Amino acid sequence: MWAMIVKEFRQLRRDRRTLAMMIVLPVLLLVVLGYAASFDVKTVMVAVAGPQSGLAAGLLKAPSFDITQSAPGRGRAWAQDQLRDSHDEMAVVTGGTRPLVLIDGSQLFAARAALTDLAGVRYHVGFTGTRPSSVSPKVVILYNPGLTTSDIMIPGLCGVVLVFVGTIITSLGVVRERQSGTLEQLAVMPLRPRDVFLGKIVPYFLVATVDLAIVLAVGIAIFGVPFRGSPATFALGALLFLFVTLGIGVLISSVSQNQGQAIQLAMMTLLPQVLLSGLIFPLTSIAAGVRWIAYFLPLTYFNEISRGVMLRAEPIAALWQPFVFLAVLGAVVVTGATLRFRGYLAPAGHRRGGGTAAPVPQEAGI
């Protein structure tokens, strides 16, 4: 038995990927659970509008509230847009008989925090005129009035499905060719590298689209998740995101020798995205020292798009940041993947002095 133990250790020492996983994963989980995993939103971002903006701002004290914008000349419509375009999580509109507090229900945990913190605000007399009054605000929760979890999870799930199919299944599909040795056969057939690359990607593209459609259909029909925004915007966002994840899948397969390795690497890209992209734990409650990681993860941006479009009907103009990021990342990843793929299919060393010559005419008979 001792011999087996020694042998396993020796093999493990050399298996870098498994070692990396065994070391990196616990560290990652530690970081996440320590710094990131929190549903507590310490500070709610607020916009104030209307004539008594200053007074309202005075009542909403830090650290519970952070007044990011103050627009005395603006009204409800403007305040609502700030929520819709995810500039703020709460807005106060003054100037009516009662101040109006709008809370973004699609930011579930921030909304809950806002409600709790509001209860602690003491409303003074004297908003208008001479009569002392104590007027509590009217609170309206927009976009997810019931503060249900499924309404925000289902849009997030859309992203997870796309990451899953895009990264994991694509990396397996391409690596299978390498592992079985058939890649070399493809290289000598009269197929263009482009044909092979696209031919391999398209089926997964279609599968991902069908999956997405199913998730949306079930979410809307059975869970009652709303789809308030523009389907075209959503589709464009999904398309760009899919390019990114498919490209990452092909890249993973190009550095993996077999399916086991591909899955390991794919898992290592999936896990951080699920934990740190704002899917489960709100971005704002992740400690700043760790939050920067989220801004490199594609899923973070797609979550913004899917939640924004489905729940808040966010227009594409307001979503320019995620779109641009995904577009740029998509271009980089797909280019990289194509180049690596082409390297397999074109014969190596072609440029180095060796060449092919027209056959020499031979006298008849050998």
Partner 1 sequence: MTALASCAGATKRFGDFTAVGDVHLAVRPGEIVGLLGANGAGKTTLIRMLLGLTATSAGRVELFGEPPSRQTRSRLGYVPQGLGLYDDMTPVENMQFSAAVFGSGTAASLPEGIGEYATELVGSLPLGVQRRVAFAQALAHRPDLLILDEPTSGVDPLGRARLWETIADAADGGAGVLVTTHYMEEAQECGRLVIMADGRVVAEGTAAQIVGSGQVVLVQAESWSAAFGALEGAGLQVALAGRSLRVPGADPAVVRLALGDMPATVRQVPATLEERFFELSSQRQQA
Partner 2 sequence: MREPETGPAGTNWGATELYVSHGRTVALRGVSLAAPAGQVTAVVGGDGAGKTTLLRCLAGSLGPDSGTVRRPPKERSGYFPASSGIYEDLTVAENLDFRANGYGLPRKAGRDRAAEFLERAGLSGVAGRLAGHLSGGMRQKLAVIAAMLHRPDLLVLDEPTTGVDPVSRSGLWWLIARAAAEGCAVVLATTYLDEAERCTSVLVLDGGVALASGTPDQIVSAMPGALRAVPAKPAGDEAALSWRRAGRWRLWDPAGLADSAEHAAGRPPAGSANGAIVPDLQDAVTVAALARQSGVLTGGAA
- Binding-site ranges for partner 2 (CB under 8 A): 180-182, 184-185, 187-191, 346-362, 364, 366
Looking at the DSSP bridge assignments, the partners of residue 39 are none
Helix (H, G, I), strand (E, B) or coil at 267: helix
Q: Name which of 244, 62, 275, 236 is nearest 166 in CA terms.
A: 244
Residue 11 binds what, of partner 2, partner 1, none (CB under 5 to 8 Å, by partner type)? Answer: partner 1
CB 328 within 8 A of CB 241: no
Q: Is 123 helix (H, G, I), strand (E, B) or coil?
A: coil
- Residue 206 CA: distances (Å) to CA of 21, 273, 297: 31, 23, 23
Task: Quote the least distance from Cβ 198 to partner 2, whole Å.
Answer: 15
Strand order across the beta sheet in which 65-71 lies = 65-71, 44-49, 90-93, 100-104, 138-142
Return the one option of partner 2, partner 1, none that residue 7 interacts with (CB less than 5 to 8 A, by type). Answer: partner 1
Residue 347: contacted member of partner 1, partner 2, none (CB under 5 to 8 Å, by partner type):
partner 2
- Smallest distance, partner 2 to C-beta of residue 213, A: 27
Considering the complex, state which of residue 94 and residue 179 has its C-beta at the smaller distance from partner 2: 179
Task: Report 1-20 residues binding partner 1 (CB under 8 A).
Answer: 2-3, 6-7, 10-11, 14-15
- The nearest distance, CB 264 to partner 2, in angstroms, is 22
357 binds, among partner 2, partner 1, none (CB under 5 to 8 A by kind): partner 2
> Do β-strands 90-93 and 100-104 pair in parallel, antiparallel, or remain unpaired?
antiparallel
Residue with smaller CB distance to partner 2, 97 or 185: 185
Tokens read off for 5: 């133990």
Task: Report the residue number, 52 or 256, with the smaller CB distance to partner 2.
Answer: 256
Handedness of CA 189, 195, 197, 200 (dihedral sign): negative
Q: Which does 2 bind (CB under 5 to 8 A by kind): partner 1, partner 2, none?
A: partner 1
Please report, as ranges, the residues that interact with partner 1 according to CB under 8 A.
Answer: 2-3, 6-7, 10-11, 14-15
